[in-house]
Chains A and B, each alone.
Chain A
């Protein structure tokens, strides 16, 4: 029994109606275009629409093809990275039936227990029938989609360990009551948090491909627009969403088009060199920064509809791709953001 307002809250604030915050929107779009970029971390002030943006994302994603009857929503086109059922089915019979399903954007709520995150034995069945059955958890539900953790810095340590492990391997392994289940769990990790309220472990930080910092808008015009739209939304969520539908469709089309273009977007040798130079100048750890930078720049080029990655794209994504990887202060985004900017300016001119 939901009251009217609760139904209303079920309609998320439209992504396209978010005022400003271009860095954040770009990072989220990049993750939607090329999931292999590896997740987005959004940190910043209170009340800047961090969670609003992520929750609005679901409405923007074009539906995806999935195997009918597969509880993990396996990709019919994928040869590897299928669940055991699909692999078995493929080996034995004709190609499976497919249908279109919405891309999952799964919330990992605070206070979630481990059994619900990784999946466990189905309690209901164990209690009522004494039967052993696996009940997939949030990681399974997020397969091929997004896993969103609000207040990621407040997440319990053991859940963090678990997420790091699964995010790295793309596979979730559950051993319980003599039951051994492994299933694919490839998802884009999206986290948001306020660094004032707790630090983020460097290992988890490193799992995020892009990191953006959001600030409260400072000009009056912008603030008035934020308040005006939010107020309109709160008064009539459905009407407001309807008003922004055209815009949302446009963004969805852009994502679809960019995904198609992605494979044909060239990465010239010069761009690769540029990215390597930038990473060297900043002394980022490992190759992950380099790779993410190139991938993000390519997604950015695809989004802009350009045939090849140029310096402009690298410049645009350098901050989000690198600022959380600088060795000295992995947790301080404000300072490292400036360092990235400086390095970019030195390399490519102001």
Chain B
């Protein structure tokens, strides 16, 4: 193998040159994908439809070997189109079963390009993920049992504008690169023949174990949970080495790979790093982490006190360092370098970005944007057909019914002839098992439950503002045609002031006349809201609970006074929300953001919004996110 010498190495030029990092990065990503597309899964390209995107796709195509399949995958491709199925006309024509391979199989050894990927439906997500994982398509459809190889890579064109418009998390997890395209790729860096050489070299590239360990450590330090991420970073570093004409992955390759693969996935700022000296995001800068939800089941300590929080679980930075010592790694410096490389790639406004990272992680669990989806046989947007009986108002899909009947016609006619049936025989013999009915999907309505703390401690100062916030949220509800309910608690206990109603004016009135004062039976309030939320769920709607409180409980469930018991009870009540997976939002109405309210929000699994900082914008955005989450 005589690989052309690549001096001066284009990628080393890249490392040195901060000139226009994004364009160089875009072009490097294209080269890496052209080299090992199927191994890296592909790329989520975040950009609106624009010439830049076209340029980038053209660049990628130019680097691929000639005749590499490069297919567009329409967003609403049916399972049949994606997986394949029976080619009915050919089968009828030839009188034997003819299969029609699906797009996944057709793109074997090549690429699929998915447009508007932020709106990809759940079934397609799952099928794409399965193909990316197993590299094959298993077909059990329409009388066919087949196994096609599908060694594919995916370009997911993400045209989302808002933070909550994201690719499904499952799909993002399987794509090595998440690339926002803001300036055009730099075309001159690699040529197709460089890649041919690199492709030959790739299988021989070796990976030193210390690099492997350092990449794992870096992914942990950046709060990247998925195990696919470090694996893909390693694959990427191999590809980088091959591209560089090297036989072994070097530290530079690893740090570039970490920067490309891990940095966009970072969910937290490594604890030992100094806070970035950059313009802080405006209102909540004093407690940058306050609305950040810790990863499920582990408490991510706030960054500023982590170094002395020695007894925390494994995920804190200092424990990471402890385990390094256990392993006696000689390479603390290497990890440091990798983490630094990743951090350098995190765009300005890091805390905001990381916060948004938390947010879209939350939102992207939702497949639909508004309201949970439920299947129906009668109303909603049509989403295909299935075999079924014509009863309880199901609607027949004539075309699919005839399609199902078609292959059996010859046989049925023979049968009918044999039976010598009386009277004229219909030309097409349709039987009950052919019936296909339409399936529809409709949005599940959302009901917002307001839980208002009208006790003395909260109400006297802040109730007016809380009411203002609720009015704002009610306006949001009105736009979405949601229902609202109001639960208030003060003094002796909680009361459902207004059962779920569409009349938002009534909700407003019931709040306006709300008297204030007395103790804070927070637990009772939460219990009442929980009961109501479960009831709403049973009615087939999605509840979103908005709690307005300062979190300072002083009456226990049984009505006895005492802060300690009351707080315990309140936390227990809050836990039920998290357990039931009820979407909740906690608006802290106290004058200063309170630790108690934050803890409560965390226990509830609720988004936390301190009212003093929450402008109209912040509130409505938070509610939008919360409702998107409830759609999951």
**Taking beta carbons and an 8 Å cutoff, which residues of A are in contact with B?**
1-3, 5-6, 9, 45-49, 51, 107-117, 120-124, 126-128, 130-132, 135, 137-138, 150-151, 154, 156-158, 176-177, 194, 196-198, 215-221, 223-224, 226-228, 230-231, 234, 328-329, 331-332, 334-336
Would B231 and A116 count as touching, CB distance under 8 A?
no
- Would B127 and A128 count as touching, CB distance under 8 A? no
**Which residue of chain B is the closest to A213 with respect to CB atoms?**
B297
Interface pair B580/A332, CB less than 8 Å apart: yes
Could you write out 27 A-B pairs with CB less than 8 Å apart? A46-B228, A47-B173, A47-B227, A51-B133, A110-B126, A112-B141, A115-B143, A115-B387, A123-B144, A126-B408, A135-B143, A137-B140, A154-B126, A177-B408, A177-B412, A194-B170, A197-B367, A223-B220, A223-B227, A224-B213, A224-B217, A227-B227, A230-B231, A231-B212, A231-B234, A234-B231, A335-B575
Q: Which residue of A lies closest to B575 (CB)?
A: A335
CA–CA, A115 to B139, complex, Å?
A: 12
The answer to whether A5 and B135 touch across the interface, beta carbons within 8 angstroms, is yes
Nearest-neighbour CB distance to chain B for A327, whole angstroms, equals 13
B410 within 8 A of A: yes
Interface residues of B in 171-226 (CB under 8 A from A): 173, 207, 209, 212-213, 215-217, 219-220, 225-226
Contact B127 A111 (CB under 8 A): yes
Query: A137 to B412, alpha carbons, bound, how many Å?
Result: 22
State which residues 440-458 of B face A: CB under 8 Å.
none
A46 x B212 contact (CB < 8 A)? no
Could you tell me if B230 and A223 are in contact, using CB atoms closer than 8 angstroms?
A: yes
CB distance from A298 to the nearest CB of B (A): 31
Question: B228: which A residues are within 8 A, CB to CB?
Answer: 46-47
B67 interfacial by beta-carbon distance below 8 Å:
no
A82 to B372 alpha-carbon distance, docked (Å) = 45
Q: B581 to A221, Cβ gap below 8 A?
A: no
Contact B169–A224 (Cβ < 8 Å): no
Check B414–A130 contact: CB distance below 8 A. yes
- Known A-B contacts A158-B386, A217-B227, A231-B231; the reply to A329 vs B580 at CB < 8 A is yes
Q: Which of B256-264, B320-328, B553-561, B584-592 forms part of the interface with chain A?
A: B320-328
Q: Which residues of A contact B38 (CB under 8 A)?
A: 5
Instruction: Judge if B21 is at the interface, Cβ distance under 8 Å.
Output: no
Contact status of A46 and B173, CB under 8 A, knowing A116-B144, A123-B97, A224-B212: yes
Expressed in whole angstroms, the minimum distance between the Cβ of B434 and any Cβ of chain A is: 10
Q: A3 vs B38: C-alpha distance in the bound complex, in angstroms?
A: 13
Q: Within 8 Å of chain A (Cβ to Cβ): is B536?
A: no
Q: Pick the contact of B169 from A46, A121, A176 — CB < 8 Å?
A: A46
Beta-carbon contact of A116 and B580 below 8 Å = no
List B residues 96-122 near A (Cβ within 8 Å).
Answer: 96-97, 109, 122
B431 CB within 8 Å of chain A: yes
> Would you give the shortest CB distance from B236 to chain A, in whole angstroms?
12
What residues on B are CB-neighbors of A176 within 8 Å? Answer: 433
Chain A residues with CB under 8 Å of B145's CB are 116
Q: How large is the interface on B (under 10, 10 to 19, 20 to 34, 35 or more residues)?
A: 35 or more
Docked-complex contact B140 and A108, CB < 8 angstroms? yes
Total contacts A-B at CB 8 Å = 195
Known: A3-B109, A223-B227, A224-B213. A109 touches B580 (CB 8 A): no
Interface centre among B126, B229, B324, B431 (most CB of A within 10 A): B126
| Chain A proximity of B118: nearest CB distance (Å) | 16
Q: How far is the CB of A154 from chain B (nearest CB, A)?
A: 5
The residue from B136, B140, B226, B367 contacting A113, defined by CB atoms under 8 A apart: B140
| CA of A45 to CA of B139, assembled, Å | 26
- When C-beta atoms are compared, the residue in chain A nearest to B139 turns out to be A109
A117 to B145, CA, bound (A): 10
Judge whether A220 and B227 touch: CB under 8 Å. no
Which B residues, 223 to 249, have Cβ-Cβ distances below 8 Å to chain A?
225-231, 234-235
Residues of B within 8 A of A335 (CB): 575, 578-579
CB-CB under 8 A for A109 and B227, given A6-B135, A46-B169, A158-B388:
no
If A114-B387, A197-B365, A220-B217 touch, whether A2 touches B230 (CB-CB below 8 Å) is: no
Q: Which single residue of chain A is at the shortest CB-CB distance from B141?
A: A113
Q: How far is the CB of B435 from chain A (nearest CB, A)?
A: 12
Q: Which residue of A lies closest to B321 (CB)?
A: A220
Cα(A165)–Cα(B505), bound, Å: 49
Q: How far is the CA of A156 from the CA of B437 in the complex (A)?
A: 14
Q: Determine how close the nearest CB of chain B comes to the CB of A178; give it in whole angstroms.
A: 8
Which residues of B sit under 8 angstroms from A154, Cβ to Cβ? 122-123, 126
- Assess whether B136 is in contact with A9, with CB atoms less than 8 Å apart: yes
Q: Is B393 an interface residue (CB 8 A)?
A: no
Distance between Cα atoms of A196 and B126 in the complex (Å):
13
Take A108-B140, A156-B386 as given contacts and tell me if A196 and B169 are in contact as well, using a CB distance cutoff of 8 Å: yes
In the complex the two chains form, is B130's CB within 8 Å of A110's CB? Answer: yes
Does B298 count as interface, using CB distance less than 8 angstroms? yes
Top 3 A-B pairs, shortest CB-CB distance? A123-B143, A335-B579, A116-B140
The CA-CA distance from A198 to B374 in the complex, in Å, is 11
Question: Which of B96, B138, B215, B580 contacts A128 (CB under 8 A)?
Answer: B96
Query: Given A123-B86, A215-B297, A107–B227 Cβ distance below 8 Å?
Result: no
Q: Tell whether, in the assembled complex, residue A5 and residue B151 are in contact, meaning their CB atoms are under 8 Å apart.
A: yes
Give CA–CA (A111, B227) in the complex, Å. Answer: 27
Interface string of B42-86 (1 = CB under 8 A from A): 000000000000000000000000000000000000010011001
| CA of A306 to CA of B137, assembled, Å | 44
Q: Which residues of B contact A197 (CB under 8 A)?
A: 122, 126, 168, 170, 365, 367, 632
- A227 in contact with B234 given A127-B97, A128-B96, A176-B433 (CB within 8 Å): yes
Residues of B within 8 A of A110 (CB): 79, 123, 126-127, 130
Beyond A5-B151, A215-B297, is A130–B411 a contact (Cβ under 8 Å)? Answer: yes
Complex CA gap A110/B123 in Å reads 8
Q: Is the CB of A116 within 8 A of B212?
A: no
Are the CB atoms of A3 and B169 closer together than 8 Å?
A: no
CA A108 to CA B139, docked complex, whole Å: 9
**Contact flag A224-B216 (CB < 8 Å), given A177-B431, A197-B365, A335-B579:** yes
Given A130-B411, A329-B580: A228 in contact with B226 (beta carbons within 8 A): no
